[in-house]
A and B are shown apart, each in its own frame.
Chain A
């Protein structure tokens, strides 16, 4: 049979912590956790050489469910923390994860600048088109006519962001969209994203069974992009615009200069601690 004869010994379980996820049963975020751990196992990355930085929200809890170094950061600032870590420790594989509200509303500014800065890190946006942790408010990716929130009973009336479109416009060099219902396909996408030299953005359609139960039908609506990945931003823009947001695959990949801070401070731990002595 035609198959990759991978000789990987690491197990996805090695990358999970002993904490049981507290997400609602049926949540797409479970599959994202599985996809991340499968990707890391395939790549055989030592746990101590990977950091997972997360924002606030249901999805932000994911770092605690892994055995990686993690930082559950301030709302919307996961990319700032992740970028800082990468600047200080370019040897680490840095993954950043959060939700659509965390990444596009509170953290929207950090998102667009992370795209254009093109540091070598991977940003996973678990997009369920709702603020779940705060009990179901409209987020920047919520459809304008979604009327199920008490805060916006007649819908927001505001056109939602298309995350891939925004990432492309802001200069991201790797843009992909995956689906939580396909954890194996998502794992493969993450392997590609982690291997990409530069900022890789992976939007994951991750259904919320509690506040957006209709999203449980996404599994009948998602499809793979008919076209293969392009390095032409105009073509990528046309594909994103023509799509209804339910096509999955690597949309755009282009290699350009990776930003990395050149002048690192050569301070030892003792002298850094001295800075904090009151």
Chain B
């Protein structure tokens, strides 16, 4: 049975949705901190903005949750497709020399996975209320995708290659 088919009640769906967005926000902040420490201010700001958007979405979902008693689920008991939530960037995908273009590529991948997560539930949950809300969230994720694509178009000249570091950490001494 797929996760979407197991999504039989609104409270569980909302608990998953809040966790998805919250985890994404925390990871974006974490990535921003990494870039800040390594003096990459443009990408720091990019990840910080992405964290802000994820937090805003988490806040919206919490408003939907008013009146629902959400189950508290241990981090390892979420049945995500991957090791972490679908909108959570993989720590292993970043590099201190990355550009805004790289950061946005990661963000686009995250949003696509989040859209697919909600879309799948909107198609296959046994509960009509869950299907409707998941469809709404899937549309929102599509809107986020469009915003990111516009952002990407605006910075089309941004480097698609890693920046040059004349004294990299692995330089032999």
B68 on the A face (CB < 8 A):
no
Contacting A22 at CB < 8 Å: which of B26, B37, B72, B98?
A: B37
Shortest CB-to-CB span from A203 to chain B, Å, is 18
- Shortest Cβ distance from residue B32 to the other chain A in the assembled complex, whole angstroms: 9
Q: How far apart are A151's CB and chain B's nearest CB, in angstroms?
A: 10
Distance in angstroms from A33 CB to nearest chain B CB is 9
- Contact of B35 with A by CB under 8 A: yes
Query: CB of A42 within 8 A of chain B?
Result: yes
Could you say which interface size class chain A belongs to? 35 or more
Which residues does chain A contribute within 8 Å of B98, judged by CB atoms?
Answer: 25
Do A183 and B83 form a contact, CB below 8 Å, given A3-B77, A216-B92? Answer: yes
A209 to B72, CA, bound (A): 34
Those of B57-98 within 8 Å (CB) of chain A: 71-78, 83-84, 90-96, 98
B50 CB → nearest A CB, Å? 15
**Measured between C-beta atoms, what is the minimum distance from B63 to chain A in Å?**
20
**B94–A25 touching, CB < 8 Å:** yes
| Residues from chain A with Cβ under 8 Å of B37 in the complex | 20-22
Residues of B within 8 A of A (CB-CB), count:
35
**Contact among B12, B83, B95, B172 for A209, CB-based, below 8 A:** B95
Q: Tell me, yes or no, whether A1 is within 8 Å of chain B by CB.
A: yes
Q: Which residues from A are CB-within-8-Å of B77? A: 3-4
B76 and A135 form a contact (CB under 8 A): no
Q: Mark A5-48, 1 if CB is under 8 A from B, else 0.
A: 11110000100000011111111101100100010001000000
Known contacts A21-B34, A209-B95, A211-B170; A188 and B76 CB within 8 A of each other: yes
Name B83's contact: one of A7, A8, A42, A184 (CB within 8 Å).
Answer: A184
CB-CB under 8 A from A13, the residues of chain B are 26
Q: Which residues of A contact B169 (CB under 8 A)?
A: 24, 135, 210-211
**CB interface residues, B 36-51, toward A, < 8 Å:** 36-38
Is there a chain B Cβ closer than 8 Å to A187's Cβ?
yes
Is A57 close to B, CB under 8 A?
no
Nearest Cβ on chain A to B135's Cβ, whole angstroms? 20
Cβ B74 vs Cβ A42 within 8 A: yes
Q: Which of B8, B31, B73, B83 contacts A185 (CB 8 A)?
A: B83
Give Cα A26–Cα B34 distance, bound, in whole angstroms.
Answer: 9
| Given A21-B33, A21-B34, A184-B83, A5 and B91 contact (CB-CB distance below 8 Å) | no
- Interface flags, A177-191, vs B, CB<8A=1, else 0: 000111111011000
Q: Does B161 contact A (CB under 8 A)?
A: no
A60 to B47, CA, bound (A): 27
Is the C-beta of A99 less than 8 angstroms from some C-beta in chain B?
A: no
Overall SS of chain B's interface: loop
Q: Mark B140-173, 1 if CB is under 8 A from A, else 0.
A: 0000000000000000000000000000011011
Q: Verify if A219 is at the interface (C-beta below 8 Å from B).
A: yes
B28: shortest Cβ distance to chain A, in Å?
A: 13
Interface centre among B30, B73, B75 (most CB of A within 10 A): B75
Provide the residues of chain B in CB contact with A27, threshold 8 Å. 91
Chain B contacts for A182, CB-based, 8 A: 83
Q: Which residues of B contact A42 (CB under 8 A)?
A: 74-75
On chain A, the residues within 8 Å of B74 by CB distance are: 3-4, 6, 8, 42, 188
| Cβ of B169 to closest chain A Cβ, rounded Å | 5
* A207 within 8 Å of B (CB atoms): yes
CB neighbours of A6 from chain B (8 A): 72-74
Contact of B72 among A7, A31, A135, A207 (CB under 8 A): A7
Contact A8 B72 (CB under 8 A): yes
Q: Are A25 and B35 closer than 8 Å at their CB atoms?
A: yes
How many angstroms from the CA of A103 to the CA of B30 in the assembled complex? 28
| Interchain CA distance A25-B8 in the complex, whole Å | 39
> Which of B's residues lie within 8 Å of A, judged by CB?
6-8, 12, 26, 30-31, 33-38, 71-78, 83-84, 90-96, 98, 169-170, 172-173
The 8 A-B residue pairs with the shortest CB-CB distance in the complex, in nearest-first order: A188-B76, A25-B34, A184-B76, A20-B33, A184-B75, A182-B83, A25-B94, A25-B96
A→B interface (CB under 8 Å): 1, 3-8, 13, 20-28, 30-31, 34, 38, 42, 135-136, 150, 180-185, 187-188, 207, 209-211, 216, 219
